[in-house]
Structure 1
């Protein structure tokens, strides 16, 4: 079993530095699982497990969106939430160089540089939400308001109806 400092990701180090309460949950994950599979594996309600999606706008800007794992991002709502005409999902091959994270292990915390981040308004329905801790096999659970202390968040309706 690796020592705790061997398991720390950039996201977990930033949370520690900010002194916000969180719980890191580690699990065996040799390949990327769907968010619903992760929720089921950890015994969590998929409505309170959020995936982190990175987009690029026509303007060239990058934006991060967090939505429940069983939902689909509405690109028009997402663009409106950040004041852009249009946004598109970032190609998977561009994720690691831009964020420092791999597909399935992308956290809104600890990216190579901060990007405007919008979370689906349903996060406020829960005392705690879960999201990637910055690598495959690591999820973070924490209060949405505590997440907002580390990553400035805008709340909006982001999912396909």
Structure 2
């Protein structure tokens, strides 16, 4: 298995994790597909969203796979006037990752990260390992501590 930036970073900082591979469907890169392929509950599969604030600074949000981001709640938590989704064409230049393989771990540009509070209800959560077809299973508190994530209610 190819080591991604996310996996190398976890190894370098000695953070416990497990990797889960799944079959990629280029026509369906969503969390529901990941849940079906891995047999995991959609509640523990977190998707990584990339956004920009009014200053064009990168913001990362991790939310449960079946939910939608609430831009107003995120902006308030981030102490911004507004946030908007990053254009897909800019994803790789901002994060170093591609759609369907964006991880909050190993992003190449400075950013702040936010996570929905439901992550704390689970012993482990699963999120992108930095490439399509690869998920990282990790204790949410380990991820929060490592990335200095702000936790709050950021979904609709």
TM (norm. structure 1) is: 0.93
User: Do structure 1's residue 86 and structure 2's residue 82 form an aligned pair?
Assistant: yes
Structure 1 segments (4+ residues) deviating >3 Å: none
User: Do structure 1's residue 106 and structure 2's residue 102 form an aligned pair?
Assistant: yes
2:58/2:110 contact within 8 Å kept: no
What CA distance in whole angstroms lies between the structure 2 residues aligned with 1:134 and 1:28?
A: 15
2:48 alignment counterpart? 52
Structure 1 spans left out of the alignment, 5+ residues:
none
Other structure's SS at 1:88 match: strand
2:11 alignment counterpart? 16
- RMSD after superposition: 1.1
Other structure's SS at 1:51 match: strand
What CA distance in whole angstroms lies between the structure 2 residues aligned with 1:18 and 1:148?
A: 14
- Shift of residue 114 of structure 1? 3.4
2:133 alignment counterpart? 137
Structure 2 spans left out of the alignment, 5+ residues:
none
Cα deviation 1:110-135 (Å, max 9, x = unaligned): 01123100000000000000000000
- How many residues are matched? 155
Q: Could you tell me which of 114, 123, 126 is aligned with 1:127?
A: 123
Q: Could you tell me which of 64, 67, 73 is aligned with 2:63?
A: 67
1:109/1:150 contact within 8 Å kept: no
Mean Cα deviation higher: 27-36 or 149-158? 27-36
TM (norm. structure 2) is: 0.96
